[in-house]
Amino acid sequence: MTEHSPTAPATANANAAAPATTRGAAPASATTTTTTTDQRAIRRGFVAAGIVVVCWSGFNIVSRLGGRSPLTPFDLAALRFMVSGLLLLPLFLGGFRPVPASGRAKTELWRTGGALSWRQRLLLALAGGLGYALLAYTGFSLAPAAHAGVLVNGGIPLATTLIGWQVFGLRPTRRALLALLIAGGGFALIARHGLHMQDPWHTLQGDASFLLAAICWGFYGQLVRRWQVDPRLAASNIAVCSAAVYLPVYLLFLPSGFAFASPPQILLQAGYQGIVAGIVAASCYSYATLRIGPTRASLMLALVPPISALLAVPLLGELLTPETAVGALLVTAGAVLGATGGSGVRPAAGPLADPSSLPSPPSTASRR
């Protein structure tokens, strides 16, 4: 007689249940793989944001040099959009090539002619291109680079959070509000320092321009995340649409200082504004916004103020006053507090849910 093991029925039941488990729920290995992929995407998002921090720290110094040169703010904007627009024109036009019907997923925004309307394209260009650039360059011609580091890069997190809250219904967490409150103290110190400058009126005008530039970029970041815009499409759209709208007006009506600027001055601004700021930083910021959300991506930018303030001392000869130093430290502290506290917004039901909870665009490998 064959001896029956007491564990045999259990083994049989387990084997019988295996197909049901496979059909009814995702295997643990699949969940682990998804989690690992998400973690890698988040890490890449923070790396992209770090690249933006480096690019924009140099942007503050180079733009301040441009503001001191014979070049006008309109010249700097023209160089930015002309260089980046020409380099990204093939990429921009490639976005209109037809794709097979099977590839036209809802989140597929690259090489899909109807993914973004022209109204959306122009709005992205006005916020992240024309509005931001013209206001920032105007500020650089009137106020110190340290002020730009704090008010632009420190103001973007505040603007991003407030726009997300008031326009898109994304309520910030208590941690994010505390971070913004700390950063706000830094803004107040910078504004107070501006009142004691040799020409306070011009300095305050420059500071106001910096804050308006931050509002434009904050709005741009929210739109990129909400519309799930591919980073390549975002950068090429800013460059080409801004060039098409701005350059004819610039050539016909706006003052220029090119005749009085030296070739090295023009080449420095063309290379940095057009390539580093207009292409590298714009693409990386859009990528970071998609991967880690607009709140954390913008809060990472508040690491720029102390870097810009320190670089401005040897490179520009600008003094680092106690008020500017403390203001930069407060803004940076607010950035670190906000960036390490999750997405920075409270989840909400319905169409106004946290954009960071939206699905990320498919990777390039998955599209092939």
Burial status of residue 133 (CB atoms within 10 A of its CB: 0-12, 13-18, 19 or more) = buried
Task: Tell me if 42 is assigned to some domain.
Answer: no
Tens of pLDDT, residue by residue over 29-72, are: 555 666 777 888 889 999 999 999 999 999 999 999 999 999 99
- pTM as predicted: 0.74
Host domain of residue 291:
60-97+118-357
Contact present, 354 and 293 (Cβ < 8 Å):
yes
Report d(CA 291, CA 359) in Å as an integer.
9
Task: Tell me if 333 is assigned to some domain.
Answer: yes
Tens of pLDDT, residue by residue over 213-263, are: 999 999 998 898 888 888 888 899 999 999 999 999 999 999 999 999 999
Task: Tell me if 54 is assigned to some domain.
Answer: no
Task: Tell me if 113 is assigned to some domain.
Answer: no
* Residue 345: φ, ψ to 5°: -130, 150
Burial status of residue 252 (CB atoms within 10 A of its CB: 0-12, 13-18, 19 or more) = exposed
CA angle at 362 for the pair 358 and 364, rounded to the nearest 5°: 150
DSSP 260: G
- Count the helix, strand and coil residues of the chain and give each as a percent rounded to the nearest 5: 75, 0, 25
Report d(CA 217, CA 214) in Å as an integer.
5
Task: Tell me if 23 is assigned to some domain.
Answer: no
The pLDDT value given to residue 258:
96
Closest CA to 67 of 154, 152, 145: 145
Report d(CA 97, CA 90) in Å as an integer.
11
Task: Tell me if 3 is assigned to some domain.
Answer: no
Task: Tell me if 229 is assigned to some domain.
Answer: yes
Please state at what angle helix 282-292 crosses helix 28-68, rounded to 10 degrees: 150
The pLDDT value given to residue 32:
62
* Residue 58: φ, ψ to 5°: -70, -35
Which residue ranges of the chain lie beneath pLDDT 70?
A: 1-34, 95-115, 194-195, 335, 338-368
- Tell me the one-letter amino acid at 145: A
| Total domains, the chain | 1
